[in-house]
């Protein structure tokens, strides 16, 4: 997991995406530092309603056949469950032959469905 600190100001979502891109590129120099080391060095007062370090997860899954597990001698099926957000907002993208397919999991206490739909419109353009 690569942790990034993004300062969110009064800007458009597109400007935020550009800022995140710049921070991601700059952070690659420290990508080998284990996440657990970062967590153990921090002494933060904990707000139990939020994750202590991470509020947003943006995940690109590299396994093209995720959910199509083939095990010799076993029959598998994908179970559809109700997603529970571990963070305030999670974007999950999966590589498919014709591009990316994605899912969004979010805290309904913090985000309205319309807000998420507006964010997704930026990715589909």
- What per-residue confidence (pLDDT) applies to 41? 74
Domain residue extents for the chain:
54-62+86-125
Given pLDDT bands bounded at 50, 70 and 90, which one contains residue 116?
very high
Taking only Cα atoms into account, the Rg of the chain, rounded to an integer number of angstroms, comes to 17
DSSP annotation of 69 reads -
Report d(CA 90, CA 125) in Å as an integer: 19
Residue where the block lists tokens 């969110």: 8
Residue 15, SS3 per DSSP: helix
Token readout for 114 is: 């319309």
For the stretch 59-111, pLDDT in tens is 887 765 555 667 788 777 766 666 677 789 998 888 878 888 888 999 998 99
Residue 11, pLDDT score: 82
Model confidence pLDDT, tens digit, residues 18-64: 888 898 888 888 788 887 777 677 766 666 677 767 788 888 877 65
pTM above 0.85, yes or no: no
């Amino acid at each position: 997991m690569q942790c990034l600190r993004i300062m969110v100001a009064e800007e458009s979502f597109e400007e935020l995406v550009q800022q995140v891109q710049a921070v991601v590129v700059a952070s690659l120099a420290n990508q080998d530092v284990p996440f657990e080391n970062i967590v153990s060095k921090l002494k933060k007062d904990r707000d139990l309603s939020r994750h202590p370090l991470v509020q947003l997860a943006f995940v690109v899954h590299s396994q093209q056949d995720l959910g199509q597990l083939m095990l010799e001698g076993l029959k598998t099926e994908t179970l559809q469950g109700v997603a529970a957000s571990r963070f305030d907002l999670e974007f999950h993208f999966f590589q498919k032959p014709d591009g990316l397919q994605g899912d969004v999991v979010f805290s309904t206490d913090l985000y309205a469905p319309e807000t998420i739909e507006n964010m997704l419109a930026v990715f589909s353009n």
